[in-house]
Amino acid sequence: MPDLLLELRSEEIPARMQRKAAGDLRKMLTDGLVEAGLTYEAAREYWTPRRLALDIRGLTPRSKDIREEIKGPSTTAPEQAVQGFLRKAGLSSIAEAHIHSDPKKGDFYVAHISKPGRAAEEIIAELVPGIIKSFPWPKSMRWGPASAKPGSLRWVRPLQSIVCTFGPETEEPVVVDFEIDGIRAGNVTYGHRFHAPGAITVRRFDDYVAKLEAAKVVLDADRRKEIILHDARNIAFANGLDLVEDEGLLEEVSGLVEWPIVLMGEFEQDFLTIPGEVIRLTIRANQKCFVTRPQGAGEDLSNRFILVANIEANDGGKEIAYGNGKVVRARLSDALYFWKTDQGDLPDLDQLRESAAKFDLDLKKPLDQRMARLDHLNVTFHAKLGTQGARVERIKRLAEELAPVVGADPALVARAAVLAKADLQTEVVGEFPELQGAMGRKYALLQGEHASVAAAAEEHYKPQGPSDRVPTDPVSVAVALADKLDTLTGFWAIDEKPTGSKDPFALRRAALGVVRILIENRIRLSLTSVFAKAFANFKGGADQSSDLLAFFHDRLKAYLRDQGARHDLIDAVITPQSDDLLQIVRRVEALGSLLDTEEGKNLLAGTKRAANILAAEEKKKTLVAETVETALFREEAEKKLNAAVNQAEKEAGQAIQNEDFSAAMLALSVLREPVDSFFEGVLVNDEDQAVRANRLALLARIRTATDQVADFSKIVG
């Protein structure tokens, strides 16, 4: 069976797009081949910065001939029917049709249609140009003289050549001939840009890979990654260092070279006074180099870094390592400048006095100055939600309100809140926005803030998602809650809520953050009353309170489901007014424990039966008495159930008052026996209408008694 080799060679493809593009190419081509009636044994894609390649093995050389018969009308049918048949079968005259005989129907026309199979080359030549024209690059471009006209070919960068050969292993493969916008498929490619600039003629995948390798191109990206990782570890180890591994960077770097050569560079020890995270990000983001640590040195970095070159340099890489070292030094000089500038005075302190007074800031301290400037510059948070300064004021007020609820020192909370956003005005965060919070903490410690205040600068952004750590320090908790609740109420007040997949302000994440902080820290909080305070800051927000609460209910449900809680139990305990998330969770837990017992299961069955009967009778408009009349009881079981319901309702109500949900459940579970006996011994549908109405009223009492704990009708099973 023949094999297909396809290579699309272009100018340098962005590293981050290569893997997916090669996969797309395989999928699009193999899908197309199969759809055209071909089969293949195996297909694998490859890529380098300058090429996407595809190796398809065991492709059928032709698609099968297709024969089909289309039955037509009787030979005696009117002309109109015959014409219809000709059109349908695609025949030009009835003479082309065959006549078949049937003992019952007599003679009728049949069209014999035969579609001959097509050569694979022909199918490939037709498919590939279409795939190239419709290729799903995230961004594509036009180029050269052809771009003067509309509709010219687009590719990620200029497409230079196409290799497309096809043939069995035992024969000389043929070039599949096609052309797209002046690029004609052939069997010529090029190796490494500098090491092997000459043309290479290839036959099939095996010699293609070998010839590329000889021309200093490692075609397989995963092999390039292995080479880089292996050599980087070795060179680090040989120098008494450990490589700080970074899969994302490794993937990117493997997409920047065709012939990876690992080298080591260095910078001055002095730069190690910069926080390690800043050094790593500086070197990674700008230079795509790996950092190292002295062996066994914990988190500290060493002053040597690892770079990956694309050439085997004449001097063994000395110039390259030296040059890279220079650039890294320049970048670190910038980082050091930012780091030091952030710890020094701002030039225009006099202008900042008013803002400083507003937040009770000490203008002798660098971070205080940054907060004053954040306010002074009127930096906008959101066009409809005002400035960052105003936002910090709101967060501070709300955090102070929350301080006693979460058990935090209000003075520390106030200080933490006014410093929490100050690092947005630092140079380091300007350069690396992902370090917001982390830098605030470092600078706060450097100016001697209380450890909790410093921690809050970082932790108030947490948790960032379902798996991020939840802050536990009460100061962090107060500021984190205030920050998130301010954001949520603000966006609700201006009606910028998440819709479908759109959540540009990450409001779902903020609400989930509140949920996790409250529940994982076991904090009781009435959201409705906090909303009232927070909404008071915004015009027209108050009527959004119940909508926002419902949004929290959804987040809570999602969170509890992820924790393995039954969604029906959550639905059973949540009412539109439930505004204490921890209480909801406790109810769910208690309900779950109850339903794990025999009593609970039977009680559930009994209450459901009661509810079903009631529902059926209510539908039939059967009279249900307003209240239960003991005088109308005929059976002992009725009396017992009535007494038990009254008792259980009272005890459960009491327990709920005391927030003892287990006790409430226990009180209800006592109902199991009388409910069972009632259904065993009493016929609800008594002939006496008054008795029947009274019995139905008793069943309704079961529902009201249980409703105060949970809506049993929502529980499944």
Partner 1 sequence: MTIDIPAHMHPSRSFQGLILTLHNYWADYGCLILQPYDMEVGAGTFHPATTLRALGPLPWNAAYVQPSRRPKDGRYGENPNRLQHYYQYQVILKPNPPNLQELYLGSLEAIGVDPLLHDIRFVEDDWESPTLGAWGLGWECWCDGMEVSQFTYFQQVCGIECAPVAGELTYGLERLAMYVQGVDNVYDLNFNGREGAEKVTYGDVFLQAEQEYSRHNFEFANTAMLLRHFEDAEAECKALLDAGTPKPSDNLPMHRMVFPAYDQCIKASHVFNLLDARGVISVTERQSYILRVRNLAKACGEAFLKTRAGGLAAA
Does 11 engage in binding with partner 1 (CB under 8 A)? Answer: yes
Does 194 engage in binding with partner 1 (CB under 8 A)? Answer: yes
Kindly state the tokens that stand for 207. Answer: 């010699």
Does 323 engage in binding with partner 1 (CB under 8 A)? Answer: yes
Does 344 engage in binding with partner 1 (CB under 8 A)? Answer: no
How many other CB atoms are found less than 10 A from the CB of residue 355?
21
CB of 278 to partner 1, least distance (A): 17
Does 386 engage in binding with partner 1 (CB under 8 A)? Answer: no
Does 146 engage in binding with partner 1 (CB under 8 A)? Answer: yes
Footprint on residues 121-140 left by partner 1 (CB under 8 A) = 139-140
| 379 closest CA partner among 343, 429, 416, 319 | 429
Stretch that binds partner 1, among 103-111, 223-231, 285-293, 583-591 (CB under 8 A): 285-293
Describe the crossing of helices 527-535 and 388-406 by its angle, rounded to 10 degrees: 150
Q: Which is nearer to partner 1, 286 or 597 (CB)?
A: 286
Q: Which is nearer to partner 1, 16 or 44 (CB)?
A: 16
Q: Which is nearer to partner 1, 36 or 311 (CB)?
A: 311
Does 16 engage in binding with partner 1 (CB under 8 A)? Answer: yes
Query: What's at 348, amino acid-wise?
Result: D
Q: Which is nearer to partner 1, 369 or 677 (CB)?
A: 369
Exactly one of 24, 58, 60, 143 binds partner 1 (CB under 8 A); that residue is: 143
Footprint on residues 354-373 left by partner 1 (CB under 8 A) = 373
Exactly one of 19, 57, 118, 195 binds partner 1 (CB under 8 A); that residue is: 195
Distance CA 162, CA 174 (A): 14
Kindly state the tokens that stand for 140. Answer: 């594509």
Exactly one of 282, 310, 436, 694 binds partner 1 (CB under 8 A); that residue is: 310
Distance CA 367, CA 350 (A): 16
Does 353 engage in binding with partner 1 (CB under 8 A)? Answer: no
Does 237 engage in binding with partner 1 (CB under 8 A)? Answer: no
Does 20 engage in binding with partner 1 (CB under 8 A)? Answer: no
Exactly one of 74, 161, 239, 287 binds partner 1 (CB under 8 A); that residue is: 287
Does 329 engage in binding with partner 1 (CB under 8 A)? Answer: yes
Exactly one of 156, 454, 604, 666 binds partner 1 (CB under 8 A); that residue is: 156
How many other CB atoms are found less than 10 A from the CB of residue 396?
22
Inter-residue long-range contacts of 702-706, CB under 8 Å, 24+ positions, other chains counted: 702/606, 702/607, 702/610, 702/641, 702/645, 702/671, 702/675, 703/607, 703/610, 703/611, 703/614, 704/649, 705/645, 705/648, 705/649, 705/652, 705/668, 705/671, 706/603, 706/607, 706/668, 706/671
Does 151 engage in binding with partner 1 (CB under 8 A)? Answer: no
Does 384 engage in binding with partner 1 (CB under 8 A)? Answer: no
Q: Which is nearer to partner 1, 266 or 334 (CB)?
A: 334
- φ, ψ dihedrals at 152, nearest 5°: -70, 160
Footprint on residues 680-709 left by partner 1 (CB under 8 A) = none
Kindly state the tokens that stand for 525. Answer: 């909080």
Does 383 engage in binding with partner 1 (CB under 8 A)? Answer: yes
Does 78 engage in binding with partner 1 (CB under 8 A)? Answer: no
Q: Where are the beta strands (DSSP E) in 295-382?
A: 304-309, 380-382
Does 235 engage in binding with partner 1 (CB under 8 A)? Answer: no
Exactly one of 76, 79, 134, 149 binds partner 1 (CB under 8 A); that residue is: 149
Given the structure tokens 């109405």, which residue do they identify?
693
The DSSP string of 443-504 is: HHHHTT--HHHHHHHHHTT---STTSPPP-SHHHHHHHHHHHHHHHHHHHHTT---BTTB-T
CB of 201 to partner 1, least distance (A): 21
Distance CA 402, CA 482 (A): 8
Q: Which is nearer to partner 1, 330 or 690 (CB)?
A: 330
Exactly one of 48, 189, 324, 545 binds partner 1 (CB under 8 A); that residue is: 324
Distance CA 49, CA 224 (A): 12
For residues 189 and 215, the answer to whether their CB atoms sit within 8 Å is no
| Number of amino acids touching partner 1 (CB under 8 A) | 57
Describe the crossing of helices 581-596 and 661-669 by its angle, rounded to 10 degrees: 30
Q: Which is nearer to partner 1, 174 or 330 (CB)?
A: 330
Q: Which is nearer to partner 1, 12 or 400 (CB)?
A: 12
Stretch that binds partner 1, among 74-82, 145-153, 578-586, 708-716 (CB under 8 A): 145-153
CB of 251 to partner 1, least distance (A): 14
Does 320 engage in binding with partner 1 (CB under 8 A)? Answer: yes
CB of 253 to partner 1, least distance (A): 11
Q: Does 463 sit behind a cis peptide bond, omega within 30 degrees of 0 on the bond before it? A: yes
For residues 410 and 485, the answer to whether their CB atoms sit within 8 Å is no
User: SS3 of 64, please?
Assistant: coil
Query: What's at 567, amino acid-wise?
Result: H
H helices present in 494-544, as ranges: 507-520, 527-535
| 100 closest CA partner among 79, 123, 69, 78 | 69
Distance CA 181, CA 195 (A): 29
Q: Which is nearer to partner 1, 106 or 158 (CB)?
A: 158
Stretch that binds partner 1, among 116-124, 322-330, 436-444, 614-622 (CB under 8 A): 322-330
Distance CA 358, CA 369 (A): 12
Exactly one of 83, 234, 295, 333 binds partner 1 (CB under 8 A); that residue is: 333
Exactly one of 59, 196, 256, 403 binds partner 1 (CB under 8 A); that residue is: 256
Enumerate binding residues for partner 1 (CB under 8 A).
Answer: 11-12, 14-16, 49, 139-150, 156-158, 193-195, 256-257, 287-289, 307, 309-311, 313-315, 319-320, 322-324, 326-330, 333-334, 337, 347, 373, 377-380, 383, 387
